[in-house]
Amino acid sequence: MKAIKFLIVAAMAAVASSAAAQDFSDPKYAKWGETPEERKENMLASSYLKEETANRHFNSAAHYLQLLLEKCPSASENIYVNGVKLYKDKANRAETLAEKKVYVDSILYLYDVRIENFGNHPKRGRVYLLERKAREYLTLKGDDREGVAEAFETAIAAQAQAGVVDPEVVAIYFKNLCDDYQNDIVDAMTIVNTYDAYAKYFENIAPEQQEFKDQFEQCFGMSGAASCENLEAIFSKKVADAPEDAKLIEQAFKLMARANCSSAFFFTVGEKHYSLQPSSEVAMLLAQGFQDVKNFDKANQYLREALAAETVAEEREKLYVRIGILEMSINNFASAVEAFREAQAINPENAHAPFFLAQCYVNGAKGCTGLAKDAIYWVAYDLIQKSLPLLEASDPDRVEAAMQLASAYRAAFPTSEECFFNEVADGSTYIVNCGFAHGVATTVRSRAK
């Protein structure tokens, strides 16, 4: 013990000797005090604070910290770095909860004083310090749920003002908020509003930050706050009281669409939203909702509304395919053929257009007879063959169905005798003269017996 004390005294003596050699009248030391003597005393106190903290001489370290906070709080960031270390050590060794609370509050207080004095630091200023304080608050005082929430909200608001919101910080805060909802500390509307307000911070994030977005979305989905029943209970009165509030209507619709709601209230809100703020995106969401409840007329209406509003060729191509599939589902094959052909006109390499066109042509050939009907299968087979490599690249789940259709269509080719009696030869060109494929040129092929 005597040896240790001797080393400490020796170290402090070395610091004092070094300080004695400095000219404290130099303006660069002005932040340490008004006079050279004060500056020297305070710089020594800063060195002693570091040394005493490192050697766990907490009482003397606390004395130096108090002196520095009173006399030169803006002299050095190290005052606060060492002060936090000091009080963390004291908190870890506290014998009672009351004693520990005092030290934890002292740590948080040091962050506040540091922000006052170094809030404008270019790297470790207010934004940086508020984030650190929020994390410390959660670690050291996590039972104070209101305080945790306030610390994180303040930190995120500061980041947003600076244009540098950290997705990890948002994810941590939102997880804690969802935990509070599970423990009946906050209500569902708090979760819904926070999700709606913070979701934008996960747009265009770096790939390595995707895990934080996944956590954010997972917490919202698993919280139970976003159920259709909760959302309707939250928004029904609000919408009734403010039926023309475009922002409110938009919030309600987007959240319910995300939850895959299908109630009458959802569609009422959705159609109101579309009337206030028409867009291709809203029309698509409404179309999907109406299609899910088998209201095909409404679904078709909004798909075509979306098509009318859309100007991007790629999106129009997708819309035509969706319209075609919907028309097929209600046996309106003529309109389906028209839609698929429009998709092909935009993109000849569209995988779905030939796959579904083949089926439309076959369904439209029911009134055809003889070779005129058989010829439809030549066209349909060729379309399926064209779609196969495209589907393999873009929609592999449909490949097996396409192969089965190709086999079925090939089996429906006419025999060589039927081709002979109809005076057509294998390999010759044939123009279809019946059904939706009327006017399409194809190649004669006979099937093996």
**pTM value?**
0.62
**What residue spans of 141-245 are helical by DSSP H?**
145-162, 167-182, 188-198, 210-223, 228-241
Domain-embedded: residue 134: no
pLDDT of residue 17: 46
Q: Domain for residue 440, yes or no?
A: yes
Strands (E), 290-449: 429-431, 441-443
What is the pLDDT at residue 138? 97
Domain that holds residue 373: 364-449
368 part of a folded domain: yes
Q: Minimal CA–CA distance to 328: which of 355, 289, 290?
A: 355
Q: In this structure, is residue 90 part of a structural domain?
A: no
Query: Would you tell me how many other CB atoms lie within 10 Å of the CB of residue 92?
Result: 9
Q: How many independent structural domains does the chain possess? A: 1
Inside any domain, residue 45: no
Q: Chunked in runs of 10, what are the mean pLDDT values of the chain (449 residues)?
A: 42 47 84 94 95 92 96 96 95 94 96 97 96 97 96 98 96 97 94 90 92 92 88 89 92 88 95 93 91 93 92 94 94 96 96 97 92 95 96 95 96 94 94 94 87
Task: Give the per-residue pLDDT at 337.
Answer: 97
Amino acid identity for residue 67 in this structure:
L
How confident is the model at residue 12, as a pLDDT? 47
Within a domain: 317: no
Contact 306, 289 (CB under 8 A): no
pLDDT for the residue numbered 21: 54
145's tokens = 């749920």
Residue 391 domain-assigned (yes or no) = yes
The residue type found at 93 is R
Q: What is the pLDDT at residue 259? A: 86
- Cβ within 8 Å of residue 386, ≥6 positions away: 354
Q: If residue 100 lies in a helix (H) or strand (E), which one and from where to where?
A: helix 97-118
**Is residue 427 a part of any domain in this protein?**
yes
